[in-house]
Structure 1
Amino acid sequence: MSEIRMSAATWAGIGTALGCGLIAAVGIAINAPLFALTLDDTGMSATEVGFLMTFAGLAGLLCTPVVPWLMGRFPVKVILGGGLLASSAMFLLYPLTDNIWVWTAIRFGFSTSLTIIFVASEAWFLELAPAHLRGRLLGLYAATFAGGFGIGGFVIAQLGHQGPATPYAGAAIMALATLPLFLFKTPAATRPEGAEAHPSALLARLMIAPALFVPAFAMGAIETSAFNLFPLWVREVGFEDSAAGYLIAASGLGNILLQGPIGMLADRYGRTRTLLGVAIIGFIGPFLLMAVKSPTEAYAICFLWSGCVTGFYTLGLMGLAERFGKGELAGANAAYGGSYGVGQLIAPLAGGTLLQTLGPSGFLAGLAVIALTPICAIAVQHQAQRKS
């Protein structure tokens, strides 16, 4: 195969992986406020809503170890197509019932299928991205992913959370996204073999470089709390329900526009220095939100804050690609997804409890503290290296 043809196929693969990240993010951004606002309409407390939200994180945590096994047995396009169709089916089930426990079970299934899409597409993307462009491409990946959040937030802001229109729109988007998977010729993902395809590969990767996985935890915790509980926060501070969708859209726009610069800064000044700057803004942002007087002010702050917090994920993936080889990436990325899932599991209940007991300011302060965890992990790692 010529270099030109190989390059074209590689870029097609990168574009396909990017598309999967985009559509999966659209699904999350529609699903999270749809679920949270529907639960809140029933009169549930923020703590109860947060508890039911943890099932989404539990789904991700349980299915993540299986993804390397799936990638060792099936082509990555088949895995991604199956995940997208399953997600579409979950959206179609929502209008069939108003039972909250059935909705929670559907959300569990939805999170399972999305986790498979995320982990498989990211492992494929990391394998295809050339080292000299990795920071920029990962910035593009995160920006595309964030664009999905913006699109999803806009969809639910326009269609609302009541009635079947939003679930049907989500189902159509997820189903149509399967078409590009089979339109382009792309390189196959390297299939994990032996121990690398075993669920225990996750623990092995975590033990090699634990600090690399903390940014995923931070991103999972902050993102899940924000996207699931911001709709309740919006009501607590007296804004209209539609502000929740526009808040998510503003956050998504910030994520789109800021990931490229974050990736370029990481390429130029190093991943750790860039991570420090991102963490500082991630810490300050929630305190600025405490002082907002209008939705417009909140949109502007979330544009910058969310864009920087999403940088945790970009920079973490960059470190992952630097540390692990092709055969190890599926297991390493699954461990990364598992760390994200731990954040998803813990944060909604904790955030809901803070929102109910300490009010909006307590909830935001919790988000600020989480933003410091990647820097704390790096500090602990450096201290351990000095002692050894």
Structure 2
Amino acid sequence: MTEEAPQGAEHSMSVTPLSGTGAAPIPRGIQFPVFVAAATCAFAGVWMSVPLASVLLTERGASPALVGLYAASVWVAALLAAPLSPWLAGRVGGALRMHQLAVVLSMLALAGLGTNPAIPLWFVLGSVLGVASCLTWTSSDAIAGAMAPVGREGQFLGIYQTFVSAAIGGGPAALWFFGVRNEAFLGSALIMGLGLALTLALCEPPGAVPRRMRLTFLRLRPVALMMIAPSGAAMLCGALEGSAGAVFPVQGLALGMAAAAAASVVVATGFGNMLAQYPVGMMADRLGTHRALLGCAVVVAVGSLLWPWLAPGWGIWPVLAVWGGAAGSIYTLGMVRAVQRFAGPARALGMAGLNTAYLLGGALGAPLGGLLLESVPGWGLPVALAAVALGGGLALSVAALRRGG
């Protein structure tokens, strides 16, 4: 069921949407695929640097705790930057301009890491990279949402998320070409530079971000109420994917899988995530986001219980792929819901809330998953994930049916 946003939500902020400042160098009809290509380069460059940093720090003699602390500094910086992204976009001249500036800032941070700096500078540059990559992400989501035509949001955002998922999963594979060395950070910057060049052929889509934003409680309240389902979906997805990325390989080892196979668990879930985005987006357009959310939650719950039972046999791989597709699609459905419910300037706040909720879910999911695996070995984690998926999916589906959800 698709509902129109309440009138008060669309006009709850005194803002003026940005529009293109002039004719775009390319026709509007092909701006969306060009932007998707640019965003793919940006995400691939950032995610290529994630495993590279971990390996290089370890080779320098850093302890696992220090490597984890570096990763945490990147995520915390991103989490702090996400709520500020609409305001920053309005200050710099729009979502597209912020995207370009954030990519440049990411490239500078990556170039700094490529010089093999002292350990304290790793944390400084990592925090800068966290802020810049978060702003790249939030601006990309806002632009993609503004470009999606009414009634086909699921299909267009499904295409966008398919390529984003491919970039996140395939970015680290570029290390096979660049090699695991400090100079590979320059390769990450080069990939992002290719995406930056593509954005020069685009113009700011109308309604992606407000030019100015004056926030009060009365203006934020209707937006917050309508973000219950979208942000809840994003947080649920973040918790599931954060737990899977951090804990599933460890669980695989405990279930008797070889080390290489256990490490490949995340590859299987990422592959399924990439394949599921467009079909689930189409399902949301045809059946409604509330039904699609509930369906994905049920699939996640069943998969959470099924794959440990099948391990270490070959049957786990299709189950993990389906699990990853359903879990990752929950975020896409939250994004579709936000685009459907918000118009114009309110959408910028919606997208920022979506990204913040995902980051918060990931920050909570990984440590809680590890705690469960350690304190309740065996079926503790699978049962907990199934319960969270079912309970969260049902609650979000009901919220999506309501006017405020």
Query: TM-score by structure 2 length?
Result: 0.77
2:274 maps to 1:274: no
Contact 1:225 1:347 in 2 (8 A): yes
Counterpart pick for 1:288 among 306, 327, 343: 306
Structure-1 residue corresponding to 2:351: 333
Structure 1 residue 183: Cα displacement: 2.9
Contact 2:293 2:396 in 1 (8 A): no
**Shift in CA distance, 69/261, structure 1 to aligned 2, threshold 3 Å:** same
* Alpha-carbon distance in structure 2 between the residues aligned to 1:139 and 1:169: 28
Contact 2:237 2:358 in 1 (8 A): yes
Structure-2 residue corresponding to 1:88: 107
Give the counterpart letter for 1:300 in structure 2.
P
Once the two structures are superposed, the pairs formed by residues 239-318 of structure 1 within 5 Å of their partners are: 239-240=258-259, 244=263, 246-294=264-312, 297-318=315-336
* Alpha-carbon distance in structure 2 between the residues aligned to 1:152 and 1:126: 23
Counterpart pick for 2:64 among 23, 41, 44: 44
Give the counterpart letter for 1:44 in structure 2.
P
Structure 1 residue 202: Cα displacement: 6.6
Structure 1 residue 165: Cα displacement: 5.7
Structure 1 residue 55: Cα displacement: 3.6
Once the two structures are superposed, the pairs formed by residues 362-381 of structure 1 within 5 Å of their partners are: 362=380, 365-372=383-390, 374-378=392-396, 381=399
Once the two structures are superposed, the pairs formed by residues 20-31 of structure 1 within 5 Å of their partners are: 20-27=38-45, 29-31=47-49
Give the counterpart letter for 1:314 in structure 2.
T
* Alpha-carbon distance in structure 1 between the residues aligned to 2:38 and 2:216: 24
**Shift in CA distance, 153/123, structure 1 to aligned 2, threshold 3 Å:** same
2:89 maps to 1:71: yes
Structure 1 residue 143: Cα displacement: 1.0
* Alpha-carbon distance in structure 2 between the residues aligned to 1:103 and 1:303: 34
* Alpha-carbon distance in structure 2 between the residues aligned to 1:339 and 1:56: 16
Structure 1 residue 262: Cα displacement: 0.8
Structure-1 residue corresponding to 2:165: 146
Note the residue ranges of structure 1 that are not aligned, 5 or more in a row: none
Give the counterpart letter for 1:353 in structure 2.
L
Structure-1 residue corresponding to 2:150: 131
Structure-2 residue corresponding to 1:349: 367
2:114 maps to 1:112: no
Answer 1 or 2: which has greater helix percent: 1
**Shift in CA distance, 286/315, structure 1 to aligned 2, threshold 3 Å:** same
* Alpha-carbon distance in structure 2 between the residues aligned to 1:77 and 1:196: 21
Contact 1:12 1:185 in 2 (8 A): no
**Shift in CA distance, 234/95, structure 1 to aligned 2, threshold 3 Å:** farther
2:337 maps to 1:319: yes
Note the residue ranges of structure 2 that are not aligned, 5 or more in a row: 1-22
**Shift in CA distance, 70/43, structure 1 to aligned 2, threshold 3 Å:** closer
Once the two structures are aligned, what percentage of the paired residues are identical? Answer: 24
Once the two structures are superposed, the pairs formed by residues 74-223 of structure 1 within 5 Å of their partners are: 74-97=93-116, 102-156=121-175, 158=176, 162-164=180-182, 166-184=184-202, 187=205, 190-195=208-213, 205-223=223-241
Structure 1 residue 182: Cα displacement: 0.8
**Shift in CA distance, 262/148, structure 1 to aligned 2, threshold 3 Å:** same
Q: Which moved more, 1:54-63 or 1:223-232?
A: 223-232
Give the counterpart letter for 1:318 in structure 2.
V
Contact 2:291 2:397 in 1 (8 A): no
Structure 1 residue 178: Cα displacement: 0.8
Give the counterpart letter for 1:144 in structure 2.
F
Structure 1 residue 147: Cα displacement: 1.2
**Shift in CA distance, 279/31, structure 1 to aligned 2, threshold 3 Å:** farther
Structure-2 residue corresponding to 1:11: 29
**Shift in CA distance, 185/96, structure 1 to aligned 2, threshold 3 Å:** closer
Structure 1 residue 355: Cα displacement: 4.4
* Alpha-carbon distance in structure 2 between the residues aligned to 1:273 and 1:249: 28
Contact 1:290 1:364 in 2 (8 A): yes
Contact 2:252 2:312 in 1 (8 A): no
Instruction: Give the greater-gyration-radius structure (CA).
Output: 2
Structure 1 residue 140: Cα displacement: 0.9
Q: Which moved more, 1:348-357 or 1:332-341?
A: 348-357
* Alpha-carbon distance in structure 2 between the residues aligned to 1:13 and 1:383: 33
Structure 1 residue 343: Cα displacement: 1.1
Structure 1 residue 247: Cα displacement: 4.2
Structure-1 residue corresponding to 2:12: none
Query: TM-score by structure 1 length?
Result: 0.80
SS at match of 1:164: coil
Give the counterpart letter for 1:108 in structure 2.
S
Structure 1 residue 198: Cα displacement: 8.5
